[in-house]
Amino acid sequence: MNLVKNLSLGFLLTILISISITGFISNYMIDKKFDQYLMDEHKTKALKFKSLVTELYNEEEGFSESDFSEIHRFAMLEDFYIQVLNNNGEKIIETDIMNIHHKKMMEFMMPDSGKMKLGEYIEESYELISNGKSIGKIIIGYYGTANLTLGGVEFKTTLNSSFFISVLIALIIGLCISIIIAKKIATPLVKITKISNEMRKGNLEARVNIKSNTKEIGELSNSINYLAETLQKEDKLRKRLTADMAHEIRTPLTNVKTHIEALIDGIFEPTKERFESFYEEIERLIKLVEKLRDIAKLEEANLHLSKTEYNLSKDIVKVIDSFKPVFKKKDAQIISLIDQEVYVIMDRDKLKQIMYNLISNAFKFIEKNGKVEVSLKEEKENIVIEVKDDGIGISEHEIPYIFERFYRSDISRSKKTGGTGIGLTITKALIDAHRGSINVTSRLGEGSVFTVKIPK
């Protein structure tokens, strides 16, 4: 069953149950109160009739013939059976009981009369008092404990019919609204599903273009588009990784193969220098494999950190001092702007590795007489380290990829700065392990700034 049918049936079932419960409770309470109202009204008529009989009584003459006629007429009008007894228990007045029995029999004989259920026969006895003296008692008999009048029955029938019609109209309206709401929810989801299936088939350029007032659907659309963009980037990186891996491994192997062929053909002599060249190429391959292994370790769920408290300022100064000879050889400068006495609780070796990677990366891409600035400052919540260079810079479209493994910009390739494109990947993994962040700002020809923030 599709989502539209599921939602529509769910809405309808909810409406039906809600209306049924509301209608049942309302009908029960109205029926109960209405029956009580009719009983109270009937009792009021009985007491009124008792008062009438008392008023008609004359102490000297008793009841006259006209009084008898009035009592008979009222009894017939209100469907009462009347007996008036004196103090000796003798009947003074008695109406025709067959009049109300006849109506009871009509329930079984006439279909329309059956709508008015007269109920059980009841007799009530009241004492008659005139001028403070008892003059006898009156017995009032009638049928009914509920619907005592045809008007009351018709009112209740109309009420039930109205309720039934209201339920029917509510269900029709509910069906229409539920279908509209269900389609409003389901249509975007169907489109999103279609786009997802296209992505599954390999079309990573597919995007969801849906405008919806529903917050969750909008977020889902954005998430699908973000997923598509991420997968597209990952696919691009995967292809580039394959090419880079082939390039990194092929170069040393080709060199070794060429030299060995030359030795076999007698073109080269097997000298110590040539074997040292072979050794260097093999070492390069070993380092590449080791870095791959390091990345695999860094990407494990739990990277082990050995944290200790130490003076970060002194350690960074030592790292900077270790680079000064290579900078001097290149006629370049390395400048330190270090806040003193900055103490942290971090993995000391991992932090040194981060600094070595960042400074080495900056050194590779500066020109002769270039400059690298390394700064350390302590903020309220973070330790901030910046490595700024005035080198060749990074193009804007390449910045999102520089922390991906084996990624090397086109400029770095053309300048043959060396490296495998793994250093920044390792650096970011180490910073992430310390729950920190690293950001890059750069422009071509103007240099780059790597900013590291690590929580205290």
Measured CA to CA, the distance from residue 452 to residue 396 in angstroms comes to 19
Most confident of 42-56, 179-193, 262-276, 309-323: 309-323
Note the pLDDT of residue 113.
43
CA distances from 155 to 31, 145, 152 (A): 11, 17, 5
Tens-place pLDDT, residues 10-33: 777 887 788 778 777 877 777 777
pLDDT over threshold 50, residue 341: yes
- Higher-confidence residue: 414 or 2? 2
Q: For residues 174-184, give the mean pLDDT.
A: 79
**Confidence category of residue 105, pLDDT binned at 50, 70, 90:** low
Q: In what order do the strands lie in the sheet with 382-389?
A: 333-338, 371-378, 382-389, 447-455, 437-443
The confidence score (pLDDT) of residue 250 equals 78
Please provide the average confidence, as pLDDT, over all residues in the chain. 78
Q: How confident is the model at residue 101, as a pLDDT?
A: 60
Q: So what's the pLDDT on residue 158?
A: 78
What pLDDT, on a 0 to 100 scale, did the predictor assign at position 256?
A: 82
- Report DSSP letters for 64-130, one per residue: -HHHHHHHHHHHHHHT-EEEEE-TTS-EEEE--THHHHHHHHHHHH-TTGGGS---SEEEEEEEEEE
pLDDT tier at 385, thresholds 50, 70, 90: very high
**DSSP characters for 411-436?**
HHHHHT----S-HHHHHHHHHHHTT-
Residue 422 or 366, more confident: 366
pLDDT 10s digits, 418-453? 555 677 888 888 888 888 999 999 888 888 999 999
Query: At 78, is the pLDDT very low, low, confident or very high (cuts 50, 70, 90)?
Result: confident
| Whether this model's pTM surpasses 0.75 | no
Q: Cα–Cα distance between 127 and 215 in angstroms, integer?
A: 76
pLDDT surpassing 50 at residue 180 = yes
Q: Transcribe 266-299 into DSSP letters.
A: TSS---HHHHHHHHHHHHHHHHHHHHHHHHHHHT
Q: For the chain, how long is the longest CA-to-CA vector? A: 164
pLDDT for 114: 41
Task: Say whether pLDDT at 249 is over 50.
Answer: yes
Task: Answer whether residue 213 shows pLDDT above 80.
Answer: no
User: What's the pLDDT score for residue 296?
Assistant: 65
pLDDT at 261: 85
State mean pLDDT over 314-321: 91
Average pLDDT on 356-365 reads 89
Segment of 33-42, 371-380, 402-411 carrying the highest mean pLDDT: 371-380
Q: For residues 87 and 303, which has the higher predicted lDDT (pLDDT)?
A: 87
Give the mean pLDDT of 51-66. Answer: 76
Task: Report pLDDT digits (tens) over 183-201.
Answer: 777 788 888 888 888 888 8
For residues 158-168, give the mean pLDDT: 79
Residue 28, pLDDT score: 77
> Does residue 179 or residue 61 have the better pLDDT?
179
| Least confident residue range of 220-229, 285-294, 408-417, 419-428 | 408-417
